[in-house]
Structure 1
């Protein structure tokens, strides 16, 4: 049975409600403390007016001392309530943003069927900027309520002096909020569009950097640059639009607040001139007219932040409400089992059937690269089971009967383009910090030269996507990570395409030695890896066309010889 925290959240408004409900205690305390702060701020000009009134009437040192003590209490209340109120709210905000980042990241790691076109760069933006802006709702609501408290207290105080002053504040506040709420809707829609365009531009440039060498190879770099320029220009224009709308909003809010403050001041001056309010009440009214601009400014900005939080929540919902690729089972496979593909039909695969026995090192030589990619997609659970025919079994259990966690613990599918993350060599090889195979994995992948090249060794810094590493170093780092996981079943897809022949030969021998007794499947056209395997399966036309050792196939199959010989 799913709990409220584990089920997938509803779009937009549902995510904001969940955030407020989860932080109800912090929101309540923050509202009380920030309301006390605003009430204290409002009480200050009221106290000044009363002090002037009583000082002019009594003219005694006792009254003056009492007045000073009252101001000290007000100032202390304002200071402490602000300090502790913001501490409570910012802690809740930060914690809530972290929760949503974890949720988005967890969803991104699970196989999900996304109907929306979201690239990895966009998911990253959603997990950072959108998560932060969504969590801002935890601060926005208490600040909105506290600003309302200040406006109400000011209206009541002015109304006690003269009803017309109180009504002027109330009517003016309603008018300001009505105008600004209409403008905030435009900000919300514009911000949502900007976030989407900026995220797409970030994803585009990340893909461009990753594929820069291949693009240079076939002369496609110019077209790729033009494509990025178009996406980037669209993002820039949208950012300018959002900045313009925000500027108009801020300017309008400031102007309207200033008009209201001036109206209250002039009305109070006129009433004092007519003798309808006292000098003390005039001082209070002028002080409140100046003070009220701050809570009004804050109050008028809140609709904008609410719409921005709503826009970010809607983008998070694109990821969080995406349906799962498949409903996972609950079973766990037996340790040290085999891998079986039984009658799989998907893409370019046609009734593909083969078995890798427990502890066997098998290589697949694909004659068509598309078939290799389709096979990796099926094994990596990147394709819904209903999208293909046939069954994939691990240790005799269909992968549809296994939980995702159990399947990943038992079988690791390492793609040829494995991601490299910002951090260090060590954190890329052993992200969890629990592997006991790091030294062996580094040696087997021949990453030792990279480690010894830097004084920091395994703690040498790695930039995002391995920008400070060569293509061969990135590939060996990805291979080291796969080997360090020490999974029962390991599937490698083209793990040595970016290294030279001598290095490839050594890596092949090392991998075969390190994986001895563990089930290993390598999809490759590398002669070194094919030779190191116990047997080679030739994948041609979507089916297994041959099954033999590499050397026997070289001697007996002319087509195989042409396909893999270098």
Structure 2
């Protein structure tokens, strides 16, 4: 379990501060509501003493009008305050979701390290809502305190001992309430963590449902989720039990306190120290005090859960970046396009790169060339892709683009020049055309050329609405080969000076793969392309192939030469 710490407090303060005007307005109106409600028993006491006891009908009518005005004010203030407070809470939660989204999408990465996608979703939904809930209930806390103060002042005017009893008794009750909320905060944090983990596991299993069915692993997947769900349920029950104990303990303490006020008031009335009307007012105020104390109980519980959620949000927002940010545009942006419109950048150089499974990789890629990379270890291929896309900075060595180390360029600048298209690229729940454009302003001609080069035009022809056909979630309405062709067309349409493709045709039939290989070379002519693959059809159209084994470069050459002379290469590519 992680401690919310000062970072969580900072998230809460920022959420409240961002909506301070709304919170202040809602608090002011809520104070008007509680103050007016506290005055109701006082006015009733005055009615008894000034009108009922004396039989003065004029005084009775006058005080009844005062009561009606009080009820109008308190009801209007409550409705308006609740509406503003709810709006402030929702807007605060929305802002937190925007902040979390910006952090997750930050080019420097790192927010998803050690977290399943479902966990991040749970933080951005459930935890953000709970912190927004704190903002929404803050005016109720202010109004409850104001109600207690108004009651204490009114009781002081009726009887100094009664007023002092309230003033002296409130601080210890609030301190006890804070202490009692500590277990609730701890158990709420545990509940939220386990619920987020369960959401992450569920999303993970749903994403791989087709694979699980294919290998007959449904029972193992169900067992895994059942264990996770039971852990989450147990944590939720512990948190619910803690909330019940917290609320019950606070109500018991406030009940004892209110009973004490009633007993002292009755004793004073029996001694003749206060009048009958003042006794009625005192008893009414004692009953009224139950409302502010219940509000404080509710707010205290919300704060306890909100602090736990704020801590989890702070952990995501404060996640260390996977790569540094130099904050410079470097040379890449300035030299991307020549006067004729052709790319002039694209020379890659890896020198002594060590990262994960890479142990010291050295090779050059000339600008405008088509180079294949064969990695016998899939982990080495993944680490190479992360370094080229600057998702990770190498532990040792450098990756250079046109002589400039990638670490000297901001991640967003690197990705304007280098596009790494991963093997497991997802599609969006949009049309085929939208997926290829991917939110950019790529023209129709460029889209058509990209789709033709990736054989995605054949996918469009097979769909009922052509390029306007809308995919289901993650493109599951398509076959694996169709998804790969659409993803490849998207990578082509982006038209980056350097394109790194990882196994782009593993699910495509051999005939289509050969067509893609032939079109790829022509489509990317004059721009740098790196193919990280073991596909013979793709490697056959490259200028040269770099072979990685054991984390280092063990061979380089043209594909036919390596097939003829290198047995290790043959086994990796032709097996």
- Structure 2 Cα separation of the partners of residues 363 and 221 of structure 1: 38
Residues 351 and 178 of structure 1, relative CA distance in 2, 3 Å threshold: closer
Residues 74 and 446 of structure 1, relative CA distance in 2, 3 Å threshold: farther
Contact persistence 1:93–1:135 (CA under 8 A)? yes
- Structure 1 Cα separation of the partners of residues 241 and 466 of structure 2: 48
Q: Is residue 236 of structure 1 aligned with residue 233 of structure 2? A: yes
Contact persistence 1:364–1:523 (CA under 8 A)? yes
- Structure 2 Cα separation of the partners of residues 307 and 374 of structure 1: 42
2:499 aligned partner = 490
The counterpart of 1:331, out of the listed 324, 329, 332, is: 329
- State which drifts further: 236-245 or 109-118: 109-118
2:182 aligned partner = 185
- State which drifts further: 315-324 or 420-429: 420-429
SS in 1 for 2:547: strand
1:94 aligned partner = 90
2:38 aligned partner = 42
SS in 1 for 2:324: coil
Contact persistence 2:117–2:203 (CA under 8 A)? no
For residues 55-107 of structure 1, give each alpha carbon's deviation from its aligned partner in whole angstroms, at most 9, with x where no partner exists: 22565554344334433432333234334433443333333323322332333
- State which drifts further: 395-404 or 526-535: 526-535
- Structure 2 Cα separation of the partners of residues 425 and 164 of structure 1: 77
1:120 aligned partner = 117
> Equivalences for 1:295-444 in 2 at 5 Å?
295-329=292-326, 330-332=328-330, 333=332, 334-335=335-336, 336=343, 337-338=345-346, 339-385=348-394, 387=395, 389-420=396-427, 428-432=435-439, 434-436=441-443, 438=447, 440-442=449-451, 444=453
The counterpart of 1:78, out of the listed 54, 71, 74, is: 74
Q: Is residue 153 of structure 1 aligned with residue 150 of structure 2? A: yes
1:4 aligned partner = none
Q: Is residue 526 of structure 1 aligned with residue 535 of structure 2? A: yes
1:251 aligned partner = 248
2:524 aligned partner = 515
- State which drifts further: 541-550 or 92-101: 541-550
- Structure 2 Cα separation of the partners of residues 245 and 426 of structure 1: 52
TM-score (norm: length of structure 2): 0.84
Contact persistence 2:52–2:60 (CA under 8 A)? no
Cα distance, 1:374 vs. partner? 2.0
- Structure 2 Cα separation of the partners of residues 39 and 220 of structure 1: 63
Cα distance, 1:150 vs. partner? 0.5
Q: Is residue 287 of structure 1 aligned with residue 294 of structure 2? A: no
Contact persistence 1:10–1:317 (CA under 8 A)? no
Cα distance, 1:365 vs. partner? 2.5
Residues 514 and 226 of structure 1, relative CA distance in 2, 3 Å threshold: same
SS in 1 for 2:351: strand
- Structure 1 Cα separation of the partners of residues 565 and 439 of structure 2: 46
Cα distance, 1:244 vs. partner? 1.2
- Structure 1 Cα separation of the partners of residues 464 and 288 of structure 2: 60
Contact persistence 1:116–1:318 (CA under 8 A)? no
Q: CA RMSD in A?
A: 3.4
The counterpart of 1:131, out of the listed 128, 136, 139, is: 128
For residues 172-228 of structure 1, give each alpha carbon's deviation from its aligned partner in whole angstroms, at most 9, with x where no partner exists: 544543443222100111111121122222222333333455556667665555444
Contact persistence 2:427–2:475 (CA under 8 A)? yes
